[in-house]
Amino acid sequence: MRTTIFVATLAMAMLASASPELQAANTTAAQIKRAANGFLNAFSAEQEKRGFAVAYKTGRLDSRLALATCNRPLAVSFSSDVWKTTQPTLQVACSGDRPWRMFLNTTVTIDGDGLVAARPLARGEKVTSGLIKAERVTVNATRRGVITDPDQLVGMEMRRGVNTGTLMTPDLLSAPAAVARGDHVMITARSGNFSVNSRGKALADASVGDQVLVENLSSSRTVKARVTAPGQVEIPM
């Protein structure tokens, strides 16, 4: 029989080690809490190696809770993205002869070096290493995701203006245009290993990977192409 118990909560994945208590007549609230805390402690230790500091607290469980005996180690995992919320849910599950699962509320904060604007940045401004700086932040405090690697920022353009100290998140950035309206581009028509090149003119701005209309300067036809690199577009044959 599969019993599913939902207790409003938060969390992530891994097996907890077996202990004599897990083989008791029932799986108790105390045993579930120990499994959850063991999982979170292991997560904290792993992130510490990467330069992050993790603090956590598990939610309350009714001490009278008693679930079917689990003849396998309890499996604990985050059921939501711990890097985008400070209140992830933990799933605690038994996959033994009498399987069950439940969810446990948690509070988890992950502190680390996030990147912020070193000065006010204008819309359309290209980000350089001198325009950003590292600052200690709670990296999972925003669902937008915090950028911690400078290589993900340098060369990108600002979608909108921001003030000094604004935390840099992916939604603030866009890839710079690889072709601009009016640019002359090389059009490659490709089929397998066979390709034909011709000259064209871009009719709009576009970044690598975007679709853009280009005018073939030989035929005067307008075609839709995919930008593959600065000044280069490709169409299927």
Neighbour count for residue 100 (Cβ, 10 Å): 18
Query: Which of 24-33, 104-113, 177-186 comes out lowest in average pLDDT?
Result: 24-33
> Mean pLDDT over residues 4-32, rounded?
47
pTM metric for this prediction: 0.62
Residue 116: its pLDDT value, please?
A: 93
Given a cut of 70, whether residue 136 has pLDDT beyond it is yes
Q: Selecting from 2.60.120.620, 2.30.30.760, 3.90.1150.10, 2.130.10.10, what CATH number does the domain 184-236 have?
A: 2.30.30.760
| 10 confidence band (pLDDT: 50, 70, 90) | very low
Give me the CATH topology for the region 112-174: Type Iii Antifreeze Protein Isoform Hplc 12 (3.90.1210)
- Specify the pLDDT at position 5: 32
pLDDT, tens digit (0-9, with 9 covering 90-100), for 82-126: 999 999 999 999 988 889 999 999 999 999 998 999 999 999 899
Produce one character per residue of 149-163: b if its CB has 16 or more CB atoms within 10 Å, e if not: eeeebeebbbeeebe
